[in-house]
Amino acid sequence: MATRAETNVPITRVTHVTIAVSDMERSVAFYRKVLGWKQIDDTQVDLTALAPVVGPNATCRALVGRVANFGVELICGSFIPNVRPTRGLGISIVAVEVPDAQAAYERLVAMGLTPLNQPGLVHGVKMFQIEDPDGQRVEFCEYARGDCPWDRPAQ
């Protein structure tokens, strides 16, 4: 019987999440304003190798950036539908940690945004969500001191 270590692909670390957007400038403004996204690079993507997947004449612009210490890439391409998708499978939520969920909620409301819910406790985590202009959910989480599950050792 194979052990777990023998069946996994070796991973050094998770580097980033890529979020498809329908309007690059609108999304950049949102992610800068709400999450403090900082741009690292702006690339016209050569999709030659991906032509079988995205189509023969597809175009794509990718803005590589960072929110705190995590990579967040925004992509806008001719192969991405320019309509808001229905909720479904895929990336469900991009979650960020905040020191005070209520203060974050009030700040976002003051910025003119409408959160999807009030900060509430879920499994001991005070959290609430907003949506970006294309419907991607962003969750703001306030963990009890020293109790972020992603800081615990993996089993």
CATH code, 46: 3.10.180.10
Kindly tell me if the per-residue pLDDT of 5 is higher than 60.
Answer: no
**Domain-ending residue, one of 42, 66, 81:** 81
The model's pLDDT over 6-64, given as tens digits with 9 standing for 90+, comes to 556 565 666 788 898 989 999 999 999 999 999 998 888 888 767 777 788 888 898 98
The model's pLDDT over 70-89, given as tens digits with 9 standing for 90+, comes to 889 898 988 887 776 666 65
151: in domain: yes
Written as one letter, the residue type at 77 is G
Asked whether the beta carbons of 100 and 150 are under 8 A apart, the reply is no
Do 128 and 148 lie in a common domain?
A: yes
Kindly tell me if the per-residue pLDDT of 1 is higher than 50.
Answer: no
141: in domain: yes
What are the structure tokens assigned to 61, written together? 């612009």
3-class secondary-structure state, position 124: coil
Q: Which residue has the higher pLDDT, 23 or 145?
A: 23
The model's pLDDT over 93-114, given as tens digits with 9 standing for 90+, comes to 888 888 899 999 999 999 999 9
Total domains in the chain come to 2
Torsion (CA) 26, 30, 33, 39 in degrees, nearest 10? -70
Do 92 and 153 lie in a common domain?
A: yes
155: in domain: yes
Mean pLDDT value of segment 140-152: 74
Do 128 and 142 lie in a common domain?
A: yes
Do 100 and 155 lie in a common domain?
A: yes
Do 155 and 95 lie in a common domain?
A: yes
Mean pLDDT value of segment 116-137: 86
CA distance linking residue 106 with residue 102, whole number of Å: 6
CA distance linking residue 78 with residue 98, whole number of Å: 35
CA distance linking residue 40 with residue 72, whole number of Å: 10
Domain encompassing residue 35: 14-81
